[in-house]
Chains A and B, each alone.
Chain A
Amino acid sequence: MAVGLEHFLILSAVLFSIGLYGALAKRNAVVILMCIEIMLNAVNIAMVAFSRYGHLLTGQVFAIFIMVVAAAEVVVGLALVIAIYRSRETVDVERIDLMKW
């Protein structure tokens, strides 16, 4: 059975859903960041798959930008986690509710 575009897209969707579940269900902020990285990777797979099956390099260009943004995001995100950990001694998002009413 030949592997087509749909396979990659469904793989991407599965990976994205797993990341989504983790991002929404986990309490550790670092794990949430990890799950977000998984989601971004899932998107990258979809992008590159479109690029491959559409013969358009734009998809890969987008993937490169996503990587850049992901790098920036993880840097700032982790810096925030560490800053919060310093002041509150926790990275449990259920206990970080400063933005509450």
Chain B
Amino acid sequence: MPEVALAIFLLPIFSFVVISLIIRPFLNKRPQLSWYVTIASIGASLILSLWMLVEVIKAPGHVLPMPDYQWLVIGDTSIHLGVMADSLAAVMLIVVTVVSLVVQIYSRGYMHGDPGYCRYFAFMSLFTGSMLGLVLADNLLFLFVFWELVGLCSYLLIGFWFHRPEAARAATKAFIVTRIGDFGFLAAILFLYAKTGTFDIGELQHLALVGAIGGTALTWAAIGIFSGAVGKSAQFPLHTWLPDAMEGPTPVSALIHAATMVAAGVFLVARLFPMIASSYEAIMTVAIIGGFTAIFAATMGMVMNDFKRILAYSTISQLGYMMLGLGVVGVGVARGAVALEVGLALGVAVGIFHLFNHAFFKALLFFGAGSASHATGTFDIREMGGLRKAMPWTFATFLIGSLSIVGIWPLAGFWGKEQILSQAWHYAPILFYLAMITVFMTAFYMFRLLFLAFGGEYRGGAHVSLRESPAVMIVPMVLLAILSVVSGWLPISEFLGGESHSFFGALASPMAWASLLLAALGILLAYAIYSKKWISAESMRRRFAPLYTIVSRKYWFDELYENVFVVRILVDGIFALFHWFDDHIVDGMVNGIAGGTIAAGREIRRLQTGQLQAYGLAIFIGILAIIAFFMIFG
């Protein structure tokens, strides 16, 4: 049993090793081999994950007992490693393996003929393995290692076309910005270890629940962990890297920057939910950051012109939703409004259920973006249009994905969003209203994108002949489209310990109608502006010119970080200080010693007169001095 759990994440890592050590050096003439190896390993992982899911469902309390291995003994400290096979891990395994497998199939078409084919699949395998390891880890140290590994894969894959300066810059930016969050995460891990002497997640949760760690210490630790999640999940204020990360290949965006890695932040909060929810301040921070990020990213999504960037902002916004879901239930728990056991399971269920659904429809939307750009050669939606006729499959699946993300009953997105909204209504009304506005905005920007890209007439160059993508790309899209419809019907929420929902019963609540109405309004507005052009987009832009400028310049966050923070504070301030210190103190010491030696040498060398007799005199004076010394003191 534990061997199976280990095999789940070791298989793709093994595939990475095989591709990078055998196929790429020796069989580079047949890059297709790397695809087969990747598909085989991830497929095997998927089967094992399904089997494990079944086992977990059968197990009492939905937790499989797993042995842990002693990994390291330093003095009295011993660090154990093991896997955690509970419902959360099982669900995440399914998400990661399914999306990864589908993305690998799609990549065959998308990356066809790319010179870095082997490298691509090697990194993808490594990423999948690391992500699965991250999900399975039962130990913060272990988890952090995989956390950094997925970050590394993200860096490598954003910069996959490293010969393009934007891609290289975006990769570096992603790496550095997430590192800021990871610093907090690592600090929190070490702090917790210093406090409790354990890295084990189960033990830490237990200690937090019984109050062995608490108060300010717990709050700081929880906020440190959450800062790691903020970086990874591109939450405000570390959101700036994700839109730039779209420089990577589109399947990478679908897998890493939409479905799995960015969701790792949400997963982390869910994994440590009992601990974070034990601190009211920390969980309130999670809720507020999540709610604010959701609406904040949605505003920027409304004005972007880059297909993938709109989706990137949408991802940030949806991740904000998940954080909000986790946060508001946690707030309820912390206030004592819900029973502890119920509330803890409910929070995880609310957040992860949306994550589960989001993974499929967001990957699908990215596939649509990839397919559209495959045909048009651009990601700029102003140069698209009319793709509906040329690419019916792409359009149909994209439409399903859009309806799903907007939250139209009975598609997948509806169910997760509904749960989050209802929990927010209970525990944090202000955040509920923000989330409702976000629903409207989401509908607007998704359908703006849809109408601009697929509706109307083609606006790009005439020389491009629009053709539907090959079957190897269409089939995964159809697969994901099906999942985008049905994933919400699966009893994932109950499995995780949350509330069950009935298919039609959901329509009984007025809140569902309210959100559906807002979504419909958003779609209608987009239709009016971008399809029928009843309202001119141009005149809207002029009327709300200041607002438009602020939003389209992304609230000047990039400028704030780069010009103010990096240039003013770091480069002109701290680095200049270090530079001055280096120049004057360090170099001054070195040069001072050297100069002193030279100056002393210049003077002292005058003793070397070359006068034989002076030396002789010195010798005898010395002898006399020694004799005198011994006569006086001897």
Contacts and interface: CB of A to CB of B under 8 A. Distances in A.
A touching B, CB within 8 angstroms: yes
Interface of A: 20, 23-25, 32, 93-94, 96-101
Describe A's contact surface by its main secondary structure. Answer: loop
A23 B612 CA distance: 10
Given A97-B609, A101-B605, A101-B608, 4 more contacts: A24-B617, A25-B613, A32-B613, A94-B611
Interface residues of B, number: 11
Interface of B: 605-606, 608-613, 616-617, 620
B606 A20 contact: no
A99 B608 contact: yes
Contacts of A94: 611, 613
A88 B609 CA distance: 18
Given A101-B605, A101-B606, A24 B616 contact: yes
9 contacts: A23-B613, A25-B613, A32-B612, A93-B612, A94-B613, A96-B612, A98-B610, A101-B606, A101-B608
Nearest to B614: A24
B507 to A, nearest CB: 102
A100 B608 contact: yes
A87 B87 CA distance: 100
B613 A97 contact: no
A11 B612 CA distance: 27
Nearest to A100: B610
B620 A20 contact: yes
Describe B's contact surface by its main secondary structure. Answer: helix
A32 to B, nearest CB: 8
A23 B616 CA distance: 8
Contacts of A24: 613, 616-617, 620
Nearest to B615: A99
Nearest to A23: B616
A23 to B, nearest CB: 6
- Residue from the set A20, A24, A25, A96 with the largest chain B CB neighbour count within 10 Å: A24
Contact of A93 (B605, B611, B617, B620): B611
Contacts of B609: 97, 100
A96 B605 CA distance: 17
Contact of B611 (A25, A32, A97): A97
A101 B606 CA distance: 7
Contacts of B616: 23-24
Contact of A97 (B610, B617, B620): B610
Contact of B610 (A20, A23, A25, A99): A99
A93 B616 CA distance: 12
Contacts of A101: 605-606, 608, 610
Contacts of B617: 24
Contacts of B606: 101
Contacts of B612: 32, 93, 96
Contacts of B605: 101
A93 B613 contact: yes
A23 B608 CA distance: 19
A96 B606 CA distance: 16
Nearest to A26: B613
A100 B613 CA distance: 13
A25 B605 CA distance: 23
- By Cβ-Cβ distance, the 7 closest A-B pairs, closest first, are A97-B610, A100-B610, A101-B605, A99-B610, A101-B608, A24-B613, A93-B612
A23 B606 CA distance: 23
Nearest to B606: A101
A99 B609 CA distance: 7
A32 B615 CA distance: 14
